[in-house]
Amino acid sequence: MRFRIESASVVFLCAASCAAPPPPSAPVARDPVQPAPSAPDPFAVLSDITFGSCSDMTRPAPVFRTIADEGSDLFIFAGDNVYADTEDMDEMWDTYQELAADPDFRALRASTPLVATWDDHDYGVNDGGAEYPMRRESRELFMRFWGIGPDSPMAAREGVYDARVWGPPGRRVQVILLDTRYFRSALTRRDPGVDYGSGGRYRPSTDTNATMLGAAQWSWLREQLEVPAELRLLVSSVQVVPDDHGWEKWGNHPQERDRLFSLIRETGARGVVVLSGDRHLAEISILPADDPKGVGYPLIDVTASGLNKGGGGSPDEPNRYRMGDNFRGNNYGRVSVDWDASDPLVTLEVLDEEGRSVRRHDVRLGALRAGG
């Protein structure tokens, strides 16, 4: 069932063609597309949520049509929604317009409410963080394309992080969209000639002042984790749980990864499931409940990366937390909830671009709490 609301102030409303006209000095959209659907009603029960990352509009993207045909309650763009590695904002806006004009993307936005955060390539620079000189200008284009207006709480702060809760008590789903780019400290390159036992460019930083989220976003995240909800989808553009490879991940700033786990414990936040992207592969990773630095219950990180740009990593890439093998074809993720069960069943899946389930993990909601 589709739920709609009339308010134009919905933070997550995707409306690339309905956003306020850009100022004369900014790039202008060339090809308006059909209006986006309203976000789900605040009291709508979300039972089918899809997500994905890494869409390169120099390639066909039939996966968007697959997701549109599925008719999920919400689709989450988890970053690298376009590939715009540039400091030229006209070029960046062109990449957004290529996405807007894609017929399969148009089918998705005509059928499914959309929400988004960014990763490095739609932020503007590969593996970039706070050092990117055009981050403010890039943020303006992100907000314009995704229809985030001046009345949104996001407009009053830096970065693109945001959150929203849907559903009545007992069936509430909170979506927390982190910004792992705008504030992130520089990464530490691996030493040349040293065998680290895995592929990648980076090693853990020893800078105890380094940050992933910045002070303001950390304070905001604490507040969000204290908001009542049964299921919390924590969307991080980079992986949280996997910690063995040398590519981008929270573990490149290990004290920040520890801080995130501590914050979940301290707030008593139940039902946290991480949704991540970035890696051009898909996998399901689980930090055990008894991990000494864990959150007190299994922390599941579902990586769905490669909407049309799979093929990353390698089949034997190390990940001590991974369930089974990774999947390297084009993919997207799905979170399904059977709210009618006495202890709701949460099904976490990776699907290929034709909608076939290729990885799956089921967990009872009651297990996603300390002592569960």
CA distance linking residue 161 with residue 149, whole number of Å: 14
pLDDT tens for each residue of 191-204: 988 888 788 999 99
* pLDDT score of 38: 61
Could you tell me the fold of the domain covering 48-367? Answer: Purple Acid Phosphatase; chain A, domain 2 (3.60.21)
Ranges in the chain, pLDDT < 70: 1-38
* pLDDT score of 239: 98
Residue 333 · residue 348 · CB < 8 Å: yes
Report the side by side order of strands in the sheet with 173-177. Answer: 162-166, 173-177, 231-236, 272-276, 299-304, 282-287
Domain residue limits, the chain: 48-367
* pLDDT score of 41: 84
Residue 245 · residue 313 · CB < 8 Å: yes
Residue 271 · residue 231 · CB < 8 Å: yes
* pLDDT score of 17: 37
